Amino acid sequence: MNATRRQVLMFAGGSAVGVMFTPAPWRLITDTALWSENWPGIPAPPRGEIHTRFTNCSICTAGCAVRARCVGDQPVELAGVAGHPISRGALCPFGIVGHHLPYIPARLKEGPVGQAAAAIAGGLAKCGPAEFVVTLDLQPGRTASWTYRRAMGALKNGRYIAPSVDAQVAVDLSKARTVLSFGVPVLDGWGTPGIVNAARAGFRLIQIDAVESRTASMADRWFRVRPNSEEVLAAALAGRISPAQAADATGLAVAEIAALAQELEQGGPVLVLGSSQLESTVGTVVARHETPVPGEWKKSAPVTDLASLPDRSVRVLLIDESMPGGYLQWSAIARKLVADNPVVVTFAASPEGYARHANYALPVAVYPEVSGDVPPAIDSVASTFRIASPLVSPPSGMVNPESFIATAAGLSTGDTLRERADAIHKSARGAVFTYADGQSQPLKDMKPDDFWKVLNAGGCWIDEPGAQTAAKLTFGTAARPPEEESDLPLAIVVARETASGIPLLSKVYRESNLRLAPGYVALNPACGLEDGSQAIFETLLGKATVGVTLDSGIPPGVAQVSATPALLDLCAAGARAKVVRS
Amino acid sequence: MMSGRSIPFLAGVTAALAAGWLAFPRAIYRSQPEPVNFSHKIHADKAGAKCEDCHTFRDDGSFAGLPALDKCTGCHSAPMGTTSAEKSFIDNYVTPNRQPQWVSYARQPENVSFSHAAHVKRAKMACETCHGNTGSSDTLRPFQIDRISGYSRDIWKTPGTSHGMKMADCVECHRRQGLEHSCLDCHK
pLDDT, tens digit (0-9, with 9 covering 90-100), for A366-417: 999 999 999 998 899 899 999 999 999 999 999 999 999 999 999 988 899 9
Q: What is the DSSP string of A504-566?
A: --HHHHHH-SSSPPTTEEEE-GGGSPPTT-EEEEEETTEEEEEEEEE-TTSPTTEEEEE--HH
Mean confidence (pLDDT) of chain A: 88
- Other CB atoms closer than 10 Å to residue A544's CB: what's the count? 18
How far does B157 lie from chain A, in Å, by closest CA?
A: 13
Amino acid residing at B99: Q
Average pLDDT in the A434-457 region?
89
Identify the DSSP state of A442: E
- The region of weakest confidence among A11-20, A568-577, B178-187 is B178-187
> What is the pLDDT, as a whole number, of residue A204?
95
Residue in chain B closest to A47 (alpha carbons) equals B110
pLDDT in tens, A254-271: 999 999 999 988 887 989
pLDDT above 70 coverage of chain B, percent: 97
Closest CA to A368 of A507, A501, A504: A504
Cα–Cα distance, B69 to A582 (Å, whole number) = 66
Q: Are A387 and A58 in contact (CB under 8 A)?
A: no
Q: Which of A11, A23, A35 sits opposite B24 (nearest CB)?
A: A23
Check CB contact under 8 Å for A19 and B21. Answer: no
- Do A348 and A361 touch, CB atoms closer than 8 A? yes
Dihedrals φ, ψ of A167, to 5°?
Answer: -65, -15
> Under DSSP, is residue B105 helix (H, G, I), strand (E, B) or coil?
coil
Cα–Cα distance, A376 to A387 (Å, whole number): 11
Residue A471, pLDDT score: 53
Q: CA of A507 to nearest chain B CA: how many angstroms apart?
A: 15
Residue A572 predicted with pLDDT over 80: no
* Chain B residues within an 8 Å CB radius of A3: 8
The dihedral sign for the CA sequence B16, B19, B25, B30: negative
- What is the arithmetic mean of pLDDT over A340-348? 95
pTM for the structure as a whole: 0.79
- ipTM confidence score: 0.82
In chain A, what percentage of residues exceed pLDDT 70?
92
Q: Give the 3-state secondary structure of A253-274.
A: CHHHHHHHHHHHHHCCCEEEEC
- B111-170 pLDDT tens trace: 788 888 889 988 899 999 999 988 889 999 999 999 998 899 999 899 888 999 999 999
Residue of A2, A8, A27 to mutate, testing the B interface (most B Cβ within 10 Å of its Cβ): A27
Residue A23 CA to residue B21 CA, distance in Å, equals 7
Give burial (CB, 10 Å; 0-12/13-18/19+) of A578.
middle
Task: Measure B83 CA to nearest chain A CA, in Å.
Answer: 32
Chain B interface mutation, best of A1, A2, A11, A94, highest count of B Cβ atoms under 10 Å: A11
Angle, in degrees to the nearest 10, between helices A230-237 and A243-250? 170
pLDDT of A170: 87
Q: Biggest alpha carbon distance in chain B?
A: 73
Label each residue of A222-242 as H, E or C. Answer: EEECCCCCHHHHHHHHCCCCC
Indicate if the pLDDT at residue A167 is higher than 80. no
Assess contact for B140 and B42: CB atoms under 8 A: no
pLDDT category of residue A477 using cuts at 50, 70 and 90: very low
Q: What are phi and psi for residue A284, nearest 5 degrees? A: -90, -10
- The residue of B149, B156, B165, B166 whose CB has the most chain A CBs within 10 angstroms, and thus the best one to mutate to test that interface, is B149
Contact between B151 and A15 using a beta-carbon 8 Å cutoff = no
Q: Which domains does chain A have, with CATH numbers?
A: 5-36 (no CATH), 113-166+289-468 (3.40.50.740), 173-282 (3.40.228.10), 490-581 (2.40.40.20)
**Closest CA relative to residue A350, chosen from A116, A112, A106, A135:** A106
Q: Quick check: B113 and A76 CB within 8 A?
A: yes
SS3 B140: coil
CA dihedral sign, ordered A359, A365, A367, A371: negative
Q: What is the pLDDT of residues B71-98, one digit of tens each?
A: 899 889 888 888 888 888 999 999 999 9
pLDDT(A501) > 60 = no
- Statement: residue A565 has pLDDT above 50: yes
Q: What is the pLDDT of residue A476?
A: 42
For residue A43, the chain B residue with the least C-alpha distance is B110
Cα B117 to Cα B129: distance, rounded to the nearest angstrom: 15
Q: For residues A481 and A490, which has the higher predicted lDDT (pLDDT)?
A: A490
The number of beta carbons lying within 10 Å of the beta carbon of residue A556 is 11
Contact A569, A538 (CB under 8 A): no
* Rg of the Cα atoms in chain B: 21
Instruction: Count CB neighbours of A326 within 10 A.
Output: 14
d(CA A219, CA A222): 6
Report the distance separating Cα A110 and Cα A117, nearest Å: 15
Among the partner-chain residues B9, B14, B188, the one whose CB lies closest to the CB of A13 is B9
Q: Give the pLDDT confidence score for residue B179 in this predicted structure.
A: 84
Give the span between the Cα atoms of A560 and A522, in whole angstroms: 5
Please enumerate residues of B whose Cβ is less than 8 A from a Cβ of A. Answer: 5-6, 8-17, 19-21, 24-25, 28, 58, 60, 62, 64-65, 109-111, 113, 146, 148-151, 184, 188
Rounded Cα–Cα distance for residues A276 and A472 (Å): 7
What does the pLDDT read at residue A497?
64
Lowest mean pLDDT among A462-466, A533-537, B98-102: A462-466
Assign A472 a pLDDT band (cuts: 50, 70, 90): low
| A31: chain B residues, CB-CB within 8 Å | 28, 146, 148-149
pLDDT band, very low/low/confident/very high, at A479 (cuts 50, 70, 90): very low
Q: Which of A17-31, A465-479, A545-559, B139-153 has the lowest mean pLDDT?
A: A465-479
The pLDDT tens digits for A201-254 are: 999 999 999 999 889 999 999 999 998 888 899 989 888 888 998 998 899 999
Q: Which residues on chain B are in Cβ contact (under 8 Å) with A7?
A: 8
Q: How many CA atoms lie within 13 A of A553 on its CB side?
A: 21
Q: Given pLDDT bands bounded at 50, 70 and 90, which one contains residue B107?
A: confident
pLDDT at A436: 65
State whether B24 and A24 contact (CB < 8 Å). yes
Per residue in A524-543, pLDDT tens?
A: 999 989 998 999 999 988 99
Return the C-alpha torsion angle A231, A233, A237, A239, nearest 10.
80
Burial group, residue B43, by CB count within 10 angstroms (0-12, 13-18, 19+): middle
Q: Residues 6 or more apart from B55 whose CB is under 8 A from it?
A: B63, B64, B65, B66, B67, B127
Instruction: Write the pLDDT tens digit of every residue in A50-94.
Output: 788 999 999 888 999 999 989 888 898 898 988 889 999 899 888
For A308-312, A462-466, A510-514, which range has the lowest pLDDT when averaged over its residues?
A510-514
A67 CB neighbours in chain B (<8 A) are none
Give the per-residue pLDDT at A94. 87
Beta-bridge partners for A111: none
Q: Residue A475 pLDDT > 50, yes or no?
A: no
CB A471 within 8 Å of CB A283: no
pLDDT of residue A512: 66
Tell me which chain A residues have a C-beta less than 8 angstroms from the C-beta of B151: 34
Rounded distance, CA A418 to CA B58, Å? 32
